[in-house]
Amino acid sequence: MSAAAELPTKEAHILKGHEGAVLAARFNGDGNYALTCGKDRTIRLWNPHRGILIKTYKSHGREVRDVHVTSDNAKFCSCGGDRQVYYWDVSTGRVIRKFRGHDGEVNAVKFNDSSSVVVSAGFDRSLRVWDCRSHSVEPVQIIDTFLDTVMSVVLTKTEIIGGSVDGTVRTFDMRIGREISDNLGQPVNCISISNDGNCVLAGCLDSTLRLLDRTTGELLQVYKGHISKSFKTDCCLTNSDAHVIGGSEDGLVFFWDLVDAKVVSKFRAHDLVVTSVSYHPKEDCMLTSSVDGTVRVWKK
């Protein structure tokens, strides 16, 4: 298969260091570095292309569930079981601010484009927007329309998109002051946005990924074959938007063709649940993290 040949299915490095499950692995903005976080309450900064651990950030009191870096690589934010959102300085490794307010575990965090706010998605059914510019630790806004845990959040220049266990993907458009709720009928585990910004991919807990047209709310395609029923697993699109990637609970990673939803490639990436997949913004390189405690770097 020619398509499969383009995919990063060869293991380039194994990033070992986390003790216990790794819950998220994320490239930074330019893809040169990666941040991972896990059950061991640490966040680790890696050079995935050389397989080197650069720094370990410790401050969380419980497991760290998500992490996101600013576009200028100066700061990053993280969240986890201790109900707080941490705002870190990358170089010094110090926590600049802790945002408290969520009433439950925080599942996901994201910066906006200008890195001026952090949006966190929590178990308390809310999205909260935190201000990084001012010294206020109060949320700028609480979006509380979700009916169940918010699992994932994605930001565009003008919108906040959240995926929730209540089965909805809700888009909050700041330009027109409108909330658009797309009910998928299945708990949404993870959402990710296509690089052209037109589609949103929602990983549902019925072992299905669904591709939605953002303007119309239409279901464009359904991707199946993997297992995603009880764990928080990630899905994403390749940087060319040609393929859809999904981690499976049996340790496999699936590649689907975006258009005809065929499984282009699947391979065993880990022994255990693949918790997170992250695709390089430019190159054909992929990060996967797993409950088995490893992060793997995949290249062509």
Partner 1 sequence: MGSDEEDFVFHGTPIEREEEIASRKKKAVAGASGNLRTLPAWKQEVTDEEGRRRFHGAFTGGYSAGYYNTVGSKEGWAPQSFTSSRQNRAGARKQSISDFLDEDEKADMEGKSLSASSQFDTFGFTAAEHSRKHAEKEQHERPSAIPGPVPDELVAPVSESIGVKLLLKMGWRRGHSIKEVRASSDARREARKAFLAFYTDENTKETPDSLVSETEVETSLGEDIKISESTPVYVLNPKQDLHGLGYDPFKHAPEFREKKRSRMSANKEVGFRKPLSMKESLFGPKSGKIAPGFGIGALEELDVEDEDVYAGYDFDQTYVIEDEQPARQSNDNRLRLTSKEHDVLPGFGAAKNSDYSMERFNPPIIPKDFVARHKFSGPLEAETKPTVSAPPEVPPPADNNLKLLIEGFATFVSRCGKLYEDLSREKNQSNQLFDFLREGNGHDYYARRLWEEQQKRKDQSKLTLDVKVSPTVQKMTAETRGSLLGEKPLQRSLKETDTSASSGGSFQFPTNLSDTFTKSASSQEAADAVKPFKDDPAKQERFEQFLKEKYKGGLRTTDSNRVNSMSESARAQERLDFEAAAEAIEKGKAYKEVRRATEQPLDFLAGGLQFTSGGTEQIKDTGVVDMKSSKTYPKREEFQWRPSPLLCKRFDLPDPFMGKLPPAPRARNKMDSLIFLPDTVKAASARQVSESQVPKKETSIEEPEVEVEVENVERPVDLYKAIFSDDSEDDEDQPMNGKIQEGQEKKNEAAATTLNRLIAGDFLESLGKELGFEVPMEEEIKFRSKPEDSSDKRLDRPGLKEKVEEKTSSLKLGSEEEKSRKKREKSPAKRSGGNDLSSSESSGDERRRKRYNKKDRHRNDSESDSSSDYHSRDKQGSRSRSKRRESSREKRSSHKKHSKHRRTKKSSSSRYSSDEEQKESRREKKRRRD
DSSP β-bridge partners for residue 299: 10, 285
The footprint of partner 1 on residues 172-231 (CB under 8 A) is 172-186, 206-208, 210, 212, 216-219, 222, 224-225, 227, 229
Q: Identify which of residues 93 and 225 has a Cβ nearer to partner 1 in the complex.
A: 225
In SS3 terms, the chain reads as: CHHHHCCCCEEEEEEECCCCCEEEEEECCCCCCEEEEECCCEEEEEECCCCEEEEEEECCCCCEEEEEECCCCCEEEEEECCCEEEEEECCCCCEEEEEECCCCCEEEEEECCCCCEEEEEECCCCEEEEECCCCCCCEEEEECCCCCCEEEEEECCCEEEEEECCCEEEEEECCCCEEEEEECCCCEEEEEECCCCCEEEEEECCCEEEEEECCCCCEEEEEECCCCCCCCCCEEECCCCCEEEEECCCCEEEEEECCCCCEEEEEECCCCCEEEEEECCCCCEEEEEECCCEEEEEEC
Closer Cβ to partner 1, 94 or 178, answer by number? 178
> In angstroms, what is the minimal distance from the CB of 29 to partner 1?
18
To partner 1, the closest distance from the beta carbon of 100 in angstroms equals 12
Least separation in angstroms between residue 280's CB and partner 1 is 27
Helix (H) or strand (E) holding 12: strand 10-16
Q: Which parts of 138-167 interact with partner 1 (CB under 8 A)?
A: 140-145, 157-158
CB of 178 to partner 1, least distance (A): 6
User: Considering CB under 8 A, how many residues would be counted as binding partner 1?
Assistant: 60
Binding mask 251-280 for partner 1 (x = CB under 8 A): x---------xxx----x--xx--------
Nearer to partner 1, 72 or 271 (CB): 271
Our finding on whether 11 is near partner 1 (CB under 8 A) is: no
Site string for partner 1, 59-78 (x = CB under 8 A): --------------------
Closer to partner 1 by Cβ: residue 33 or 130: 130
The one segment of 3-11, 28-36, 51-59, 120-128 that binds partner 1 by CB under 8 A: 120-128
- Among positions 36, 70, 78, 126, the unique one binding partner 1 when judged by CB under 8 A: 126
Q: How many CB atoms lie within 10 A of CB 33?
A: 19
Angle, vertex CA 195, rays to CA 265 and CA 57, nearest 5 = 85
Could you tell me if 93 and 53 are in contact, meaning their C-beta atoms sit under 8 angstroms apart?
no
Residues lying near partner 1 in the complex (CB under 8 A) are found at 101, 103, 112, 114, 116-117, 124-126, 129, 131, 133, 140-145, 157-158, 172-186, 206-208, 210, 212, 216-219, 222, 224-225, 227, 229, 250-251, 261-263, 268, 271-272, 291-293
